[in-house]
A and B are shown apart, each in its own frame.
Chain A
Amino acid sequence: QSALTQPASVSGSPGQSITISCTGTSSDVGSYNLVSWYQQHPGKAPKLMIYEGSKRPSGVSNRFSGSKSGNTASLTISGLQAEDEADYYCCSYAGSSTFDVVFGGGTKLTVL
């Protein structure tokens, strides 16, 4: 499986909204609504922010939302805050007879 495609970097000012895209294929993102998104601050473990494409775990701010169109999933962060500055990774189930999970290459979010 090839990695999902994410932009290397995005940026926004406090209070603005940004969207990070995650493009896969009809074999992974396009076939299943099983995209998850992770936030990772430097030197820290990843943290689950979105699962099943658009659901938020308990405790995750409602400023984070997820969506999907065709083979592309998206993570939107509204009302940007300084603490949102981090790396973000998408991940999708890729469906096969064996365990098959593929990550995106990651996107560095800079809050200006």
Chain B
Amino acid sequence: EVQLVESGGGLVQPGGSLRLSCAASGFTVSSNYMSWVRQAPGKGLEWVSVIYSGGSTYYADSVKGRFTISRDNSKNTLYLQMNSLRAEDTAVYYCARDRLVVVAATPVHDAFDIWGQGTMVTVSS
């Protein structure tokens, strides 16, 4: 069965750090583009970060310089290291697989076709 399972969320003080994990089964993380998407309480979805199959990484401006996406191929697991956390980072964090399509000979994002169940991160003193 193809699935993603997140873990690592919790309560952290402002300025603190947290590492989220996303274990995949049924497919290979390193062969896919993988993203983190978050949802603040009562709000909409916000893309956070992506790691390409080739290893390139990109971030939303709101987390650039504070968050780091990575993966462990041996564990088939995606990670999100979150440092210098702020109250506005409070959200449910989802990992998701990027479905790709080729446009002008370049693979680009088509949709997020597989989602994890999410893990809650609360930044508060």
Contacts and interface: CB of A to CB of B under 8 A. Distances in A.
Contacts of A34: 101, 103, 108-111
Contacts of A102: 47
Interface residues of B, number: 22
A45 interface: yes
Nearest to A50: B111
The B interface is mostly helix, strand or loop, or mixed, namely strand
Contact of B46 (A45, A57, A93, A103): A103
B118 A98 contact: no
B44 A105 contact: yes
A99 B103 CA distance: 14
A47 B114 CA distance: 8
Interface of A: 3, 32, 34, 36, 38, 44-48, 51-52, 57, 89, 91, 93, 95, 98-99, 101-106
Interface of B: 35, 37, 44-47, 50, 58, 94, 99, 101, 103, 108-113, 115-118
Instruction: Pick the 7 closest A-B CB pairs, nearest first.
Output: A36-B111, A51-B111, A99-B58, A45-B115, A106-B44, A103-B45, A99-B50
18 contacts: A3-B44, A32-B103, A34-B103, A34-B108, A36-B111, A44-B117, A45-B116, A46-B37, A46-B112, A46-B115, A48-B99, A48-B113, A52-B111, A101-B109, A103-B45, A103-B46, A103-B47, A105-B44
